Structure 1
Amino acid sequence: MQKTVFVKFAALAVAGALSQAAFAADGTINFTGEIVDAPCSISPNSQNLTVPLGKVTRNAFGGTAGTAVIGTKATPARFTIDLLGCGATAKGATVTFSGTADLDNATTLRLANAGQVGVGSASGVAIELGDSAGTKIALGSPSADYVLGLGDNSLKFQAAYVATKTAVTVGPANAVAQFTVAYK
């Protein structure tokens, strides 16, 4: 009888050891975030956005014989920053976009690698940010006030390539901006 109990305990120990192998780590998940004193939360889907501006022909910037008209914009791409769970103290907000300013127009966002020899990115254009109506939001300056209501709120924006020189060259036209929401 003791032999049977011993065999059962041994079998249980082996099963326990084998089950640990089933729980071996196959990867890592990093959870990031921050607890803040703000009247709204920014949706996780809005914290790291990708806004595709598309493949735009350099002819979209006007002009003749391959030249662009400075200030001409391509068709804008729309995007939204969603605020969640806004409380009664959330009456309004502004959004400020920051990033590397274009060398020819400091109110616009410079393209990554723009003007660097041998890198092969587009030049002569930058990215202009605007509110939902297309009113320009200068880089580093707050947007107009957005009125906030209780609950969830969607702040709508747009971005477009804009000619900053008469000569526009082709290539990748990417940039990175950060945004900050200031509550009223």
Structure 2
Amino acid sequence: MKMKSLCLAMALIGATCQYVNAADGTLKFKGEVVNSSCTVNGMNNQELDVAMGKIPLSKLTQDFKGPEVGVTITITGCEEGDYYLVLDGTSATEANKVNVLALDDADAPGTAQNVGIILTDRNDNPVTLDQPLNKDNDPVVHVTSANGGGTFYLKASYYAWGQAANIKSGIADATARFTVIQQ
């Protein structure tokens, strides 16, 4: 009898339970496949070299910033549209400001210490690292005709942080990956 009562109770509970739904929705992926395949001029094995030069340690310990070096990324063979430049790279998390690109092999002997690279657009607005496309902040090239192109103009400079005694000379190479996105 107890078993029949238990089975009956379970059946009633199962029949009266309601599905609880916190929230649901739909993901709609929107985009377009286009023929555009811009070419980046001046690349060697998918790389553009930027010669930062040799900066005296005394310059970095006084001003905490080295001279600006122009960086140009020229795209050609593009379809009409707006093209944005997005940069990714390892951030120097110990720096006292955001968007400082860390040096390659930062902890290796012979690498400069407490030094990174900052990038700005030609209006001195910081270029963000490791962020999704931001049409309000990312550098943009407007291509107005088929098979057109343009140039992204940036500035790079060494940036130092911390106490002057902790800024050390050495190799100061850094790597940033860039993506050109058409919108």
Question: Which one of the candidate residues 79, 83, 106 is aligned to 1:93?
Answer: 83
SS in 1 for 2:102: coil
Deviation of 1:44 after TM superposition, in Å, equals 4.5
The two structures, once aligned, show a CA RMSD in angstroms of 2.1
8 Å contact 1:95–1:180 — kept in the other structure? yes
User: If the length of structure 2 is used for normalisation, what is the TM-score?
Assistant: 0.66
Distance 1:42 1:132, change over 3 A: farther
Deviation of 1:146 after TM superposition, in Å, equals 3.3
Mapped pair 1:139 → 2:147: no
* Equivalent residue number for residue 51 of structure 1: 50
Whichever residue aligns with residue 165 of structure 1, its letter is: G
* Equivalent residue number for residue 149 of structure 1: 144
Deviation of 1:160 after TM superposition, in Å, equals 0.8
Alignment of 1:19-168 (within 5 A): 37=34, 39-46=36-43, 47-63=46-62, 72-88=64-80, 90=81, 92-105=82-95, 106-116=98-108, 119-141=109-131, 142=133, 143-150=138-145, 151-166=148-163, 167-168=166-167
Q: Can you list the C-alpha shifts for 1:6-65, whole angstroms capped at 9, x where unaligned?
A: xxxxxxxxxxxxxxxxxxxxxxxxxxxxxx9453512242441000111001222253xx
Q: How many residues align?
A: 138
8 Å contact 1:86–1:149 — kept in the other structure? no
Cα distance in 2, alignment partners of residues 59 and 120 from structure 1: 18
User: Where does the alignment leave 5 or more consecutive residues of structure 2 unmatched?
Assistant: 1-32
SS in 1 for 2:179: strand
Alignment of 1:1-12 (within 5 A): none
Runs of 4+ in structure 1 displaced over 6 angstroms? Answer: none
Cα distance in 2, alignment partners of residues 61 and 78 from structure 1: 19
Distance 1:170 1:41, change over 3 A: same
- After TM superposition, the structure 1 stretch with the greater mean CA deviation from structure 2, 148-157 or 137-146, is 137-146
Distance 1:149 1:75, change over 3 A: farther
User: Where does the alignment leave 5 or more consecutive residues of structure 1 unmatched?
Assistant: 1-35, 64-68
SS in 2 for 1:45: coil
Distance 1:98 1:38, change over 3 A: farther
SS in 2 for 1:109: strand
- After TM superposition, the structure 1 stretch with the greater mean CA deviation from structure 2, 136-145 or 73-82, is 136-145
